[in-house]
Amino acid sequence: MGRALNGRGQVLVVTASFHHLGLEIRRKGFEGMLHERFPGVEIVDAVESPYDLAGMRAVTAAAIKRHPRLTGIYVTVGAGGAAQAVADAGLAGKVTIIGHDIMDEAMPYVARGVVTATIGQDPYAQGHDPVIHLFNHLAAGWQPPRSRLLTEADLVTPANIGQFWQAGKGSVESAAMAERRPRPMKTATRRIRIAVLGLEDAPFWEAVRNGVSPPTRSCAPSTPRRSGSFPSRRRIRPGYPGGSHRAAGPRRLRRHRNDDPRHGPGGQHQRVRRRRRAGSRPSTPSPRACAG
């Protein structure tokens, strides 16, 4: 942003939430770096916007009216709604917009130059790489070189958009991106089952899911076998901040025998078993029990 504005101008920050940890790290990192390296750029406002296009469009349009001298907008998520507001105001090409992620609703604006750049976080790799790493660990004893393995951040602009996204196809896998993917280190000598869990409610996860399937075929003809990837019944339940970790639907976990009062001491099933074990025992006390 600082380089695009030649070190001077007024910038608006648009975020989907002031309470989301990841988005707050982005916002504070952007603001801190801009103040440090480009002191001539002023952040005039930071606004919270709904994640949907219409909501972001309305919030951004109101901010443009409050700050008519804006020269830049930074969005902590996909910038599609902000781009619509800028285009509506006749400011396309005059206001620099930088956002995040390769989302279908924002990428046409990148292609047209309304959005200057979007920062992709390679969601395909977020599905692909963990499966390969888990397989290599289980099949070849591979150990991660460090505690955190990060995906590449790609700066997508009108000049290179074809390497990352194409109209009618969505996100694409370029040869350069395929080259940086980890690969299986050996063929497994036993069947390996790897479970992948994720949300289906956010469009971002579709690209992650697309990255899961190829490694299950490339490791071996029958290994590893993927299990439980992105259950189709998964839905976010109302009233649970951030979503629920339980799947919707009638299925419920069976209670363990020890948790069922019928199986506990004195329970119905215990009494039946005692009667069955007793069989033909005499109902009168034994002589030894009466002795003394």
pLDDT at 114: 98
What pLDDT is attached to residue 27?
Answer: 98
pTM above 0.85, yes or no: no
Give me the pLDDT at residue 206, please: 81
CATH topology of domain 9-120: Rossmann fold (3.40.50)
Q: Please give the pLDDT value at position 242.
A: 37
pLDDT by residue for the chain (292 residues), tens only, comes to 999 999 999 999 999 999 999 999 999 999 999 999 999 999 999 999 998 999 999 999 999 999 999 999 999 999 999 999 999 999 999 999 999 999 999 999 999 999 999 999 998 999 999 999 999 999 999 999 999 999 999 999 999 999 999 999 988 888 889 899 999 998 888 888 888 888 767 667 888 888 887 776 666 544 445 554 444 444 433 332 333 333 333 343 344 444 444 444 455 545 545 555 555 444 444 433 333 3
Residue pair 40/6 in contact (Cβ under 8 Å)? The answer is no
Residue 256, pLDDT score: 43
Rounded to whole angstroms, how far apart are CA atoms 98 and 153?
14
Report pLDDT for 53.
94
pLDDT at residue 86 in the model = 98
Task: Tell me the domain boundaries of the chain.
Answer: 9-120, 123-149+182-227
Token duo for residue 171: 């996100």
* Predicted local confidence at residue 217, as pLDDT: 66
